[in-house]
Structure 1
Amino acid sequence: MIGYLRSLFVGLCLISAAVADDAPNSAHTPPESPFRASGPETLEWAKRDFIEYQGRATISAKYRFVYFDGNSDDDPGYSQNPHLFLLPNQEAQATLPYLTRWVYERDDSQEKVLWTERAERIWVTNVADAAAGLLGEQLAAEVLAGKHETVVGEAVVVIDGFSAGYECDSPSFATRFVAVKHEISAPSVAKRGVGGC
């Protein structure tokens, strides 16, 4: 009997390890989230890189307009320039879809652990609309013309739609800007060589 139980336990451990190796990356919607997935929240590298969500949310976030000149290793390679990233506070992150994936604990390890990756940085797809809403007419025109490398601020904003997935093995989140509810800190132009947010 003990031998049978030991064999059963070893078998279950092997099955668990195999399942962890084959477990797909996933996206998840918190129960209190205003977003709902338009399909299954399973990410498959060859078939489906992003999960699309429908819904609208009001979040508090720092924002960062960044103009990349093409010479930076930090350039995310998106087709538009400048880029706008929202950096939601922890309360907002708790309501947004997030990702999980199994990764090796260390480079020399054979064991995998489950990583949770929250939407700490969200790429905004409609930068011109967001610039007009967040920066005012003159500063928005300067930012869109590439006159400033980085402009930062903080606001409560309304976003519409959401996507979550991986790009080049890095978590990637995107949304559309709708409106500013209220400004927390006025936009400021960061000096060259000085990071924002």
Structure 2
Amino acid sequence: MLSAFSGLIKTSANLPAAGAQITVTRSDGSPATLYANESGSSTLQNPLSTANDGRLAFFAPGGNYVLTGTLNNDELAPVAITLPKNGSRAFRTINAAANVAIDIQRDEVVDITLTQATTTLLLEGDLPLNHSAATLELTLRQGSGANAVVWPNGILWPSGQPPVLAYEAGYSDVVTIVAQGNGRYLGFHNGGWL
């Protein structure tokens, strides 16, 4: 069974990387075999080109991959992705910068190591249609400790308060965000652990 990848590729200036050439390799560095459909009946050339809006889509067996690419002879930052196996959920690891963009449609489980004094989370992607929802699970790891998160506007939190995160280096907090088809985001702090 093949898993789908669909995501927005961006430049270092946080703009869509329209027309970028993206090479997909397995985590061991070997070239990945990519498909145009879930049945695997049609293979794609690797590297791939992003669409005019910077989107990239393909099917591949579940596993760990690295996306590297160029746009106008400039290298794009590599992105590590994990495609789900046997019904598991898509997982992505991020070392946080000042701003971290999360695609509510593509990302399901995201592990973020906080290394900046303040990291602003940005939710991107289309909201689910009515009568559907998307769930995002964030693990926020304190890299150096005392790192704060600025949450996107519009998330409804229990009692109207965003979570207070652990401050000690090495501690983690798990937060779930549910994007509802009516345009609402619900946020839940699941707890913190060492």
User: Which range, TM-score by smaller chain?
Assistant: under 0.3
Q: Which has the higher contact order (CA 8 A, sep 6+)?
A: 1
- TM-score, normalised with respect to structure 2: 0.27
More strand by share: 2
Greater Cα radius of gyration, structure 1 or 2: 1
